[in-house]
């Protein structure tokens, strides 16, 4: 059984990247393999923003990732630094800036590159979308 780590660097509304990664994840499990984590980096952190509104007939990123988390229990990790640079704050940062709520929606968790690199040691493949 192969283990995959997925890195998301594209925004939720950039072309068909979200649809492709969702199909890829289903395919991994259909093949009897698994995804050990999904790491949201650079512009990919927008997937975790509870205030990101899909336009027109776009896929709802938050609903899609919530479904993935429920179905496969994959850790969804948002890079803390990349998120903060883009104004996407966790509970602690929001409180320190006087905001009433964080921007990071459940089921996402924030962490740093260090944790992601540690998780890579248990993976056979890294795929970026």
Query: Any idea how long the chain is?
Result: 129
CA dist 14 and 17 (Å) reads 6
- Is a pLDDT exceeding 90 seen at residue 113? no
Paired with 7 in beta bridges are 39, 128
Taking only the tens place, the pLDDT of each residue in 14-29 is: 889 999 999 999 999 9
CA dist 47 and 100 (Å) reads 20
- Is a pLDDT exceeding 90 seen at residue 40? yes
Residues 87 and 129: beta-carbon distance below 8 Å: no
Furthest-apart CA atoms within the chain: distance in Å: 47
Angle at 86 between CA 24 and CA 105, to 5 degrees: 60
Instruction: Note the pTM of the prediction, 2 decimals.
Output: 0.93
Taking only the tens place, the pLDDT of each residue in 56-94 is: 888 999 999 999 999 999 999 999 999 999 989 888 888
Angle at 54 between CA 48 and CA 60, to 5 degrees: 65
């Amino acid at each position: 059984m192969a283990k995959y780590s997925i890195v998301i660097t594209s925004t939720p509304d950039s072309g068909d990247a979200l649809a492709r990664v969702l199909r890829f994840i289903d395919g991994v499990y259909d093949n009897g393999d698994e995804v050990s984590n999904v790491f949201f980096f650079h512009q990919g952190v927008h997937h975790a923003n509870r205030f990101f509104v899909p336009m027109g007939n776009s896929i709802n990123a938050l609903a899609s990732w919530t479904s993935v988390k429920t179905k496969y229990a994959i850790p969804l990790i948002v890079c803390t630094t990349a998120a903060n640079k883009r104004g996407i704050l966790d509970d602690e940062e929001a409180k320190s800036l006087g905001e009433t709520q964080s921007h990071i929606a459940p089921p996402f968790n924030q962490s740093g590159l260090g944790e992601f690199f540690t998780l890579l040691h248990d993976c056979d493949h890294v795929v970026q979308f």
